[in-house]
Structure 1
Amino acid sequence: MNNRPQKIFFARNIKFLRERKKMSQEILAAQLGLTRAKLAAIEAGNTKSPQPEDYLNFSDFFKISIDTLLKIDLSKLGELKMRDLEAGNDVYIRGGNLRVLAISVDRSNNENVEYVPVKAKAGYMAGYNDPEFIAALPKYSIPNLPVQGTFRIFPSTGDSMLPVPESSDIIAQYVADWTAIKPNTPCIVILKEQQDFVFKMVTIHPNGTILLKSLNPEYKPYLVEAGDVMEIWQFYAYTSRKFPEARSEMATILAAIKNLEEKIGKNKSK
């Protein structure tokens, strides 16, 4: 049994968050109804036992749980994680990357695969972590899915991800830790402000931005902030009612040219 006292980061975190917001002690103290001297004492760690209302006030102001303020050294988190945290996704309560995700199960206690129709997009933004909303979505049983993981089906719209056909149903697996996503991974991204789902190739940047790129070159890639993203679901498979088009003559010619160039390059390197 480990009897060592747990390290508390409250004082360090309050100073870190204040400076991150570029606020002086006077301004923050005034907004919290404290004296500057008390705030300075809290930041310096000279107040060993702040009052419960102090914990609540700081938690409400910064929108970060008390557990996180106490247990996690926020200065050690990367920019991506900090922006996600400040956006309301307090996923570090136990020091791990945990998200609140509502699921539903069948009579055998197996997770269902819910289908999120286009008409439910706006409702999903408000009810993604509401068990009752999730339980009301259509459910499917899909064979051969991995035992581990949570899966959902999202309809794709538009032709930005051709050759995946328009109006395909994308089966995707929930991603809890966005930093584990490899560059150019196909994903369903749930965007807050746009109240939309997009199917894109995703690259996570250390500075807290996420690059969304289409397979169709007619669509330009663009950046979004981590705080503007609610969820990311990694592509697993898709179903479509459209029969795939035959390979065009031009595509065949381009492939042959590329193959020839690769052979020439290999010969030169010998």
Structure 2
Amino acid sequence: MSLFSDNIRYLRSQKNISQEKLADELLISRGAYVKYESGRSEAPYALLQRIAHYYHISIDLLLSVDVRKVPVEDLLQLAGNRILLPITVDKDGENIIEVIPHKAKAGYTSGYSDPEFIEKLQQISLPFLRAGKYRAFPVSGDSMPPHKDGSFIVGRYVEQLGDVMDGRTYVLLTKSEGIVYKRLNRNGNNRLMLQSNNSFYKPYEIRVSEVLEIWEYACSIETTEFEADDLSFDSIRGMFLELRNEIRKTKI
């Protein structure tokens, strides 16, 4: 027996449908279906797609997660049957926010669709957030002031690209860069322009196909006290002297 065979047997029992009727729905014979449910044969990709669409869950979920432990009926129904854990609330009915710590930031690129990875994340709730699915992402670097290293951006999940509003800020999970927080503009049908609040960093484009998730800015959590930049004469003079020394070194 395999996890896949256990899953499809359990899902069929939840729907209270016979093997013969389900096989008809999947356009295969009952004999062929019985082999998949008993674990004697592996289903081809085309059949996996049909099974996933029939149950409205992802192929990843069918193959790698014990669905008996996941509230499948509460999963968000996303295009392509993508996995996203259910919207959960605390005892007071407030939305629960899953917090991705800095140490788990790198692992999120591969773990974002793994229910076990997400379930291990710390959780908090904020009473003023409207309905939706929320996660908190760590901020790094100085490209998006006033947010600094150690801060967290709480994002509300965006289900469709058409819901992205030009000029607003979003957390993106991308295939090449992992987690990034930028100001977005839709630049053509299949591209997004990413812009930093810090003008030192130049805007750049990415293909929509590179984007795995988009989370709209909902609020931020600052973990350090704000400190104004030191722009006194001595400070500016020191910066120019340091810059001059660096330029001299590059000429040697």
Q: Scaled by the length of structure 1, what TM-score is found?
A: 0.53
2:32 equivalent in structure 1: none
2:134 aligns with one of 127, 151, 159: 151
Give 2:183's aligned amino acid.
M
2:113 aligns with one of 90, 112, 129: 129
Identity %: 30
After TM superposition, give the deviation of residue 127 of structure 1 in Å.
2.1
1:100 aligns with one of 77, 83, 89: 83
Structural mapping, 1:44-193, within 5 Å = 52=28, 59=46, 65-66=49-50, 91-92=78-79, 99-103=82-86, 105=88, 108=91, 111-146=95-130, 148-193=131-176
SS of residue matched to 1:102: coil
After TM superposition, give the deviation of residue 228 of structure 1 in Å.
1.3
Equivalents in 1 of 2:196, 2:163: separation in Å? 20
Give 1:173's aligned amino acid.
R
2:209 equivalent in structure 1: 227
RMSD: 3.4
Equivalents in 2 of 1:52, 1:168: separation in Å? 53
SS of residue matched to 2:116: helix
Give 1:131's aligned amino acid.
P
1:4 equivalent in structure 2: none
Equivalents in 2 of 1:91, 1:65: separation in Å? 15
- 1:239 paired with 2:221, answer yes
Equivalents in 2 of 1:107, 1:143: separation in Å? 10
The question of whether the paired residues in 2 share the 8 Å contact of 1:174 and 1:234 is answered with yes
After TM superposition, give the deviation of residue 99 of structure 1 in Å.
4.1
After TM superposition, give the deviation of residue 65 of structure 1 in Å.
4.0
Segments of 5+ residues of structure 1 without an aligned counterpart are 1-50, 70-89, 250-270
After TM superposition, give the deviation of residue 197 of structure 1 in Å.
1.0
The question of whether the paired residues in 1 share the 8 Å contact of 2:90 and 2:125 is answered with no
After TM superposition, give the deviation of residue 207 of structure 1 in Å.
2.5
Give 1:186's aligned amino acid.
T
For this pair of structures, how many residues does the alignment match? 170
> Could you say which structure has the greater relative contact order, defined with CA pairs below 8 angstroms and 6 or more residues apart?
1
Give 1:215's aligned amino acid.
N
1:203 equivalent in structure 2: 185
After TM superposition, give the deviation of residue 203 of structure 1 in Å.
1.6
After TM superposition, give the deviation of residue 206 of structure 1 in Å.
3.6
The question of whether the paired residues in 1 share the 8 Å contact of 2:87 and 2:133 is answered with no
SS of residue matched to 1:245: coil
1:191-213 CA-to-partner distances (Å, cap 9, x unmatched) read 1223x211100122343111111
Q: Scaled by the length of structure 2, what TM-score is found?
A: 0.57
Using a 3 Å threshold, how does the CA distance of structure 1 residues 59 and 247 change in structure 2: closer, same or farther?
Answer: farther
Using a 3 Å threshold, how does the CA distance of structure 1 residues 179 and 99 change in structure 2: closer, same or farther?
Answer: farther
SS of residue matched to 2:127: coil
After TM superposition, give the deviation of residue 175 of structure 1 in Å.
0.6
Segments of 5+ residues of structure 2 without an aligned counterpart are 1-26, 30-42, 54-76, 233-252
Give 1:122's aligned amino acid.
A
After TM superposition, give the deviation of residue 58 of structure 1 in Å.
8.0
The question of whether the paired residues in 1 share the 8 Å contact of 2:155 and 2:219 is answered with yes
